[in-house]
Amino acid sequence: MKQEELWKLLGEMTLEEKAGQLIQLDGRLILGRGDRQTGPETENRPDLLPGSVLNFDSAEMARELQSRHLSEDRLKIPLLLMLDVIHGHRTTYPIPLAMGCSFDEGLMEECGKMAAREAAACGVHVTFAPMMDTARDPRWGRIMETCSEDPLVNGRMGAALVRGMQGEDLRAGDRVACCVKHFAAYGAGEAGRDYNRVDLPENTLREQYLPAYRACLEAGARMVMTSFNTLNGVPAVASTFLRRVLREEWGFDGVIISDYNAIGELMNHGVAEDEDDCACLAMGAECDVDMMSLVYARLPDLVRSGKIPEAALDAAVMRVLRLKQELGLFENPWHGADPETEKRVYLCEAHRETARRAAEESAVLLKNEGILPLPGNPGKVALIGPFATDAHLNGAWSRPGAEEDTVTLPEGIRQVMPGVELRTARGCSAEWNVDPSGIAEAVELARQSDWVILTLGEAEWLSGEGRSRTELSFPGAQMQLFREILAVNPRTVVVLFHGRPLVLTEISRTAPAILDMWFPGQQAGPAMARLLWGHANPCGKLSVSLPWTLGQVPLSHNRLNTGRPKPQPDTGVFPFTSSYLDAPNLPLYSFGNGLSYTEFVYESLETDREVFSDTEGLTVRIRVRNAGERPGKEVVQLYVRDLVARVARPVQQILDYRKILLQPGETQEVVFRVEEKQLRFWDAEGNFLSESGDFEFSTGWADHLLHTKRVQMTKREAV
Ligand code: BGC
């Protein structure tokens, strides 16, 4: 359908039909299969004909929804079908926070492609992904949905997902459009409590929170979802400031959708009196689609009474129609929905293989005192802990029943190491239950075994939406299990499964080896076994800092120095420094950290000049050698510090990175181009600019910077 035809169509629509295009309802509810909603319970409204639907389970359901809709819609405008496809659809791959640790955009793109193939076959047109909320507070259960504490890493991984999911042509039956969320700054909720207020000064917002969303829009994401939180007092869904950023500054002309029921919640925030007020505020902030609050059912009356200009309604409807047109729905309302394709692509071998690779590449080896990889003939192996036989290894946004397709840890070990003498014991749970009654049996098993693989973490349902915690501890009796197992068998490898950073201080002190797998998805078993036995070499790096103690959060590597930085090393002579009496300032494991079974030596960091101008930029070369005996992948990281600027700059900030494969003995030179615009910051007058002066470039990882080199930037013209 051409643009003129869309205008013609709009001209034929009644106010009710226009409002319908802006209303999103639950597909399961419409079909009377409303067993699982993702927000507050809502009654079905058969009197409304929505323009879009979220939540449905199969191609069959998608087709039923669409054909029913087309038979009821006078103008035959197809329904837009949306679903959360956050880390895989039928085949699940690691949670986004784990994917961030892979630092592998190619892999993320591949994962996006496979998720889109499966989701499109199920009938999805647009998915509510990627989630690009910078998050630095692990109390917030949704930290699992973001890729990183850092906006650069987050944005690059998100953009890769968008490329993978959307491809070149949204009409293709194996592609879905992306909706970037949650705009904006949802990850900065006060005290890590979900849906809580966010108060951010504009420079922090602009530098640390907004760039990741923007990176996804630049990659072509078609839709934006507003966030639940207030931002500096104004709920994001009603924020004209955020609308201005999106529409005017960034030129985004796609559809904006509210989060679940968020327009109706304007009354709870205390900024709207009644539903009419909610609708006016949200429309005033150009929120085009109302997800599940039904407040936009009031739009026709509000237009009739002159409270909302019809032109505003028309503009929103046109954005929705244009998206439907781009997806080719007017010509083919089924898009990719096909039960036969579903059967063919769901869990196909290629997808399982990609998911396994993703699980391997995102695992982070945090500690290894020479006991990993395990020997080929390990004797008796005990697999112990809450996840030893559990299939809930997917993470919060996997569909219900995903565990049926999960390859569990014992199954994985048997696949990879068929001859191994393996026994299992659960010991205790990873939930609140502190029942230690299974520990004795597990300890006995550990005593009789040559090796112990001890799985610890946090049950799958303890992270995700509405899952904030005030502790970052290992729930239940797990620490008791850990201590008792370690006491009888020092050849214990700890493998972690969790959605948020947990405090590992005690475990890291005594366990000889720690492999962090987050929630790795359905291929958890084979991925873990291959990593532990060295069939795969760990290469993940932390995309988020792991705190030393809860009291340090929120935490991120790009902190400011303060006026009284803590001396390194700390002599303790002068007490009035920015520090804690009872804990270090630094995290236990810093951003960018992660070990390998081989050894990488950073030989040098060189720049092509000592002084560079803002127009010519700088080239930085980092030489890395694989000094070990195995091939391995390394994430070469470039950090910068702007030594003097009128707005205080971070002591370290990741500027770029590249993941490389090195054969034993091989040396590679990684070349980074640095441009002036990468060095800009938000100044007190509201401009993004850089200042001339000295910059330090380093490699290594956060808090372990190597080969620091100071270079001067000069400016041709003052900005
Ligand atoms: C979440 C969104 C999600 C939506 C639809 C909301 O509760 O915040 O991230 O996309 O539900 O399921």
If you average pLDDT over residues 239-265, what whole number do you get? 98
Q: Check residue 218 and give its pLDDT.
A: 98
pLDDT-derived band at 37 (thresholds 50, 70, 90) equals: low
Which amino acids are annotated catalytic? Answer: 259
Cα 298 to Cα 284: distance, rounded to the nearest angstrom: 14
The model carries a pTM of 0.98
209-245 pLDDT tens trace: 999 999 999 999 999 999 999 999 999 999 999 999 9
Best residue among 38, 179, 194, 463 to mutate for probing ligand 1's pocket (most ligand atoms within 8 Å of CB) is: 38
If you average pLDDT over residues 291-299, what whole number do you get? 97
Structural contact between residues 227 and 259, judged by C-beta atoms closer than 8 angstroms: yes
Cα 161 to Cα 399: distance, rounded to the nearest angstrom: 19
Whether the per-residue pLDDT at 568 is higher than 90: the answer is no
Architecture of domain 357-532: 3-Layer(aba) Sandwich (3.40)
pLDDT-derived band at 574 (thresholds 50, 70, 90) equals: confident
Distance 353 CA to ligand 1 centre (A): 29
Share of the chain above pLDDT 90, in %: 95
Task: Find the helix packing angle between 409-416 and 524-532, rounded to 10°.
Answer: 50
Q: Check residue 271 and give its pLDDT.
A: 98
If you average pLDDT over residues 639-661, what whole number do you get? 98
If you average pLDDT over residues 574-598, what whole number do you get? 95
Whether the per-residue pLDDT at 649 is higher than 80: the answer is yes
Cα–chain center distance at 248: 27
Q: Check residue 35 and give its pLDDT.
A: 64
- Domain 600-714: which CATH number of 2.60.40.10, 3.40.50.2000, 3.40.50.2300, 3.50.50.60: 2.60.40.10
What are the boundaries of each domain within the chain? 3-10+17-32+47-341, 357-532, 600-714
Whether the per-residue pLDDT at 633 is higher than 90: the answer is yes
198-212 pLDDT tens trace: 999 999 999 999 999
If you average pLDDT over residues 455-473, what whole number do you get? 98
Structural contact between residues 641 and 710, judged by C-beta atoms closer than 8 angstroms: no
Distance 99 CA to ligand 1 centre (A): 20
If you average pLDDT over residues 557-583, what whole number do you get? 90
The mean predicted confidence, pLDDT, of the chain is 96
Cα 179 to Cα 221: distance, rounded to the nearest angstrom: 6
- Cα dist. 178→84, 464, 594 in Å? 10, 20, 31
Q: Which CATH superfamily is domain 3-10+17-32+47-341 in?
A: Glycoside hydrolase, family 3, N-terminal domain (3.20.20.300)
pLDDT-derived band at 385 (thresholds 50, 70, 90) equals: very high
Cα 115 to Cα 131: distance, rounded to the nearest angstrom: 15
3-class secondary-structure state, position 268:
helix
Q: Give every CB contact of residue 244 below 8 A, 6+ residues apart in sequence.
A: none
Whether the per-residue pLDDT at 406 is higher than 90: the answer is yes
Cα 315 to Cα 308: distance, rounded to the nearest angstrom: 12
Share of the chain above pLDDT 70, in %: 99
Q: Check residue 36 and give its pLDDT.
A: 62
61-116 pLDDT tens trace: 999 999 999 999 999 999 999 999 999 999 999 999 999 999 999 999 999 999 99
Q: What torsion, rounded to 10 degrees, do the Cα atoms 26, 27, 28, 31 define? A: 120
Q: Check residue 719 and give its pLDDT.
A: 45
125-151 pLDDT tens trace: 999 999 999 999 999 999 999 999 999
Whether the per-residue pLDDT at 683 is higher than 70: the answer is yes
Distance 209 CA to ligand 1 centre (A): 19
Pocket of ligand 1 (CB under 6 A): 38-39, 54, 84, 128, 181, 259-260, 465
Q: Check residue 114 and give its pLDDT.
A: 98
Whether the per-residue pLDDT at 16 is higher than 70: the answer is yes
pLDDT-derived band at 44 (thresholds 50, 70, 90) equals: confident
Best residue among 41, 56, 84 to mutate for probing ligand 1's pocket (most ligand atoms within 8 Å of CB) is: 84
Q: Which of 52, 81, 126 is nearest to 334 (CA)?
A: 81
Nearest-Å Rg of the Cα atoms of the chain is 26
